[in-house]
């Protein structure tokens, strides 16, 4: 990265960390806002004139930087995950050309510039916090003759007893994550990037997700998922000293404990899991039973041992009859960093809802996306514990799984993955 590129990157990084940090640190101010805020919002409060382009539309996320966008960027209202496989005959050269095209288009769309051949779907909309993030799956390296550059961190994830994975919706040579606060902007990016893959890579799977719209709640980052539970409270926070080393591959030179190749400097590893939720079963449970499964109050996300959302759960606390307040198999206990040797990952999921299954149950749940410098020290140990004894596992099904190496962000003039493909 040249000196010239530092400024926008630093600006963006400060902004993103500041936003994420402030959000993650919110102390439940939003609790009870539904009643209060809504009581004041009468019909007359609605806009009477054409809505102006607000920060929802005008916000743009920088494409260039040490890290790719879409990792510490606040999660957007609309998300698309896509995996591609290189077509027969396409190798390193064709993949490099594709990543060059994709990077150029991602940069233009994220800046709110209309690329020449786009669909017109996002005309007259702002960039709406669009991010596009690119990653490489394990199979990419053999297909492009780059096996010597394959990171150890891309070792296949172990089998978990609760897995029921569909192969056709798992893995893939290339991964694209799209997020935007406007659905048409996100769809436009999806269409344009898929079109550009024509002749080089074929769509393997694609999943659509959503989260809260900015401004719909005063609780900005700790999202609720489709079981109605606050999700992400104990995410590593950018304000924590060890955040960079837990989430990102070190920026320059080999560091102790990191085996990642040089081209992964500033990169991260993304674990993607499609986790269907058995919502009919869940909703039959009483709120008290649901809270026992999670170990947190539904209303405000506070641990059952008291306090507010950000209070540390007291895993030792017992009731008067001697039983633990937070059950042995409560989700919050099984996932607690202190019971996982400090394993940590940055979860940045979307919810999904693809209608209803043949059995009448909703085809809905979580598009789990977790970021870490090393899946063996992030997702894997946590999931091993969950697999053995998480009360929540009775209400979820892991249906698809993938692991991708997401290289660092490009400098100006660079394309994503250039340091790998031109190594």
CA–CA distance, 401 with 170 (Å, rounded to integer): 5
Q: Select the residue interacting with a second copy from 299, 337, 338, 342 (CB under 8 A).
A: 299
Between the CA of residue 94 and those of 79, 87, 421, what are the distances in Å?
Answer: 27, 10, 10
User: For residues 372 and 247, is the Cβ–Cβ distance under 8 A?
Assistant: yes
Q: State which of positions 61-90 bind a second copy (CB under 8 A).
A: 61-62, 77-78
Q: According to the binding rule CB under 8 A, does residue 239 interact with a second copy? A: no
Q: State which of positions 378-417 bind a second copy (CB under 8 A).
A: none
Write down the least CB distance from residue 141 to a second copy, Å. Answer: 26
CA–CA distance, 145 with 418 (Å, rounded to integer): 15
- Classify residue 168 by burial, with Cβ atoms within 10 Å: 0-12, 13-18, 19+: exposed
Write down the least CB distance from residue 411 to a second copy, Å. Answer: 17
- Classify residue 237 by burial, with Cβ atoms within 10 Å: 0-12, 13-18, 19+: middle
Q: According to the binding rule CB under 8 A, does residue 355 interact with a second copy? A: yes
Q: According to the binding rule CB under 8 A, does residue 288 interact with a second copy? A: no
* Residues 6 or more apart in contact with residue 93 via CB below 8 angstroms: none
Q: State which of positions 105-124 bind a second copy (CB under 8 A).
A: 111-114, 119-124
Nearer of residues 124 and 321 to a second copy, judged by Cβ: 124
CA–CA distance, 271 with 405 (Å, rounded to integer): 9
Write down the least CB distance from residue 215 to a second copy, Å. Answer: 3
Q: According to the binding rule CB under 8 A, does residue 195 interact with a second copy? A: yes
Write down the least CB distance from residue 393 to a second copy, Å. Answer: 20
Contact pattern for a second copy over residues 205 through 224, marking x by CB under 8 A: -xxx-xxxxxxxxxxxx--x
Q: State which of positions 11-50 bind a second copy (CB under 8 A).
A: 11-12, 15, 18-19, 22-23, 26, 29-35, 37-38, 40-50
**Catalytic site positions:** 231
CA–CA distance, 297 with 277 (Å, rounded to integer): 19
Q: Which residues pair with 83 in a beta bridge?
A: 175, 205
Q: According to the binding rule CB under 8 A, does residue 167 interact with a second copy? A: no
Q: How many residues bind a second copy (CB under 8 A)?
A: 102
């Amino acid at each position: 990265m040249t000196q010239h590129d530092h400024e926008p990157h630093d600006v963006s990084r400060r902004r993103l960390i500041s936003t994420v940090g402030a959000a993650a640190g919110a102390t439940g101010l939003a609790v009870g806002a539904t009643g209060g805020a809504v009581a004041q919002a009468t019909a007359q409060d609605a806009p009477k004139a054409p809505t102006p382009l607000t920060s929802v539309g005008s916000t743009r996320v920088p494409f260039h930087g040490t890290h790719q966008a879409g990792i510490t960027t606040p999660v957007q209202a609309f998300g698309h995950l896509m995996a591609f496989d290189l077509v027969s005959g396409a190798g390193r050269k064709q993949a490099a050309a594709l990543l060059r095209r994709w990077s150029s288009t991602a940069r233009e769309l994220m800046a709110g510039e209309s690329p020449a051949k786009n669909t017109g779907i996002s005309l007259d909309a702002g960039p709406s916090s669009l991010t596009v993030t690119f990653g490489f799956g394990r199979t990419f390296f053999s297909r492009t003759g780059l096996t010597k550059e394959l990171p150890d961190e891309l070792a296949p994830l172990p089998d978990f007893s609760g897995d029921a994975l569909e192969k056709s919706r798992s893995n893939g040579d290339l991964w694209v994550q799209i997020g935007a606060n406007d659905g048409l902007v996100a769809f436009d990016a999806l269409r344009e990037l898929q079109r550009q893959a024509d002749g080089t890579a074929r769509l393997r799977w694609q999943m659509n997700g959503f989260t809260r719209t900015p401004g719909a709640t005063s609780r900005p980052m700790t999202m609720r998922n489709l079981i109605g539970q606050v999700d992400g409270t104990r995410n590593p926070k950018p304000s924590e000293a060890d955040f960079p080393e837990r989430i990102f591959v070190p920026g320059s030179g080999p560091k102790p404990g990191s085996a990642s190749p040089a081209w992964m400097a500033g990169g991260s590893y993304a674990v993607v899991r499609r986790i269907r939720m058995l919502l009919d079963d869940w909703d039959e449970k009483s709120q008290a039973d649901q809270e026992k499964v999670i170990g947190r109050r539904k209303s405000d996300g506070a641990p059952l041992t008291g306090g507010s959302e950000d209070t540390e759960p007291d895993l030792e606390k017992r009731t008067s009859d001697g039983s633990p307040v937070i059950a042995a198999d409560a989700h919050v206990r099984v996932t607690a960093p202190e019971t996982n040797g400090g394993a940590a990952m940055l979860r940045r999921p979307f919810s999904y809802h693809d209608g209803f299954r043949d059995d009448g149950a909703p085809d809905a749940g979580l598009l789990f996306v977790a970021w870490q410098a090393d899946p063996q020290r992030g997702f894997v140990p946590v999931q091993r514990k969950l697999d053995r004894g998480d009360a929540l596992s009775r209400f979820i099904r892991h249906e698809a799984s993938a692991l991708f190496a997401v290289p660092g962000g490009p400098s100006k003039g660079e394309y994503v993955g250039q340091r790998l493909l031109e190594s």
